[in-house]
Amino acid sequence: MRVRRIDSDGDWTFGAGRASYADRTESVAQRVKTRLLSLQGDWFLDLSHGLPWFDLIERPADLAKVERAVKAQILRTDGVRRITAFSMSVDPGTRAMAITTSIVDIYGIETQISTGA
């Protein structure tokens, strides 16, 4: 599946013809990252897209529940075969969360994906 490539600011790329699209492994990794950074109900074309972050991070946050939800979201992403590594860190001082995961996609390629601070 080809998807529109996203730039460093998280915006869709335009004007470069086929170079504006990601395919195969890059496409799968981008879809995973996009789903993890998206709020559920925020995309009008698919209200189930993304995670219910506000529900997941209510105080006190159940980090085991957050991890299960994030992993489930990754595994539900088209093109993901399995998760080979996963780490999640939370900085209560800055209220930032970072997620790093490695996946194997349907093309048999392992890719590392990082989100957050």
pLDDT band, residue 23 (cuts 50/70/90): confident
Q: Is residue 7 part of a domain?
A: no
Closest residue by Cα to residue 100 from 112, 84, 117: 112
> What confidence tens digit (pLDDT) does each residue in 47-69 have?
888 899 888 888 888 899 999 99
Domain hosting residue 80, numbered range: 29-116
Domain total in the chain: 1
Q: Is residue 97 part of a domain?
A: yes
Among 7-16, 32-41, 82-91, top mean pLDDT goes to: 82-91
pLDDT band, residue 111 (cuts 50/70/90): very high
Q: Is residue 16 part of a domain?
A: no
pLDDT band, residue 117 (cuts 50/70/90): low
pTM for the structure as a whole? 0.86
CA distance 57 to 60: 7
Average pLDDT, the chain: 90
In this predicted structure, what is the pLDDT of residue 8? Answer: 83
Q: Is residue 20 part of a domain?
A: no
Q: Of the ranges 13-17, 32-36, 77-81, 85-89, which one carries the lowest mean pLDDT score?
A: 13-17
Q: Provide the CATH number for the domain around residue 110.
A: 3.10.450.40
Closest residue by Cα to residue 99 from 18, 44, 42, 32: 32
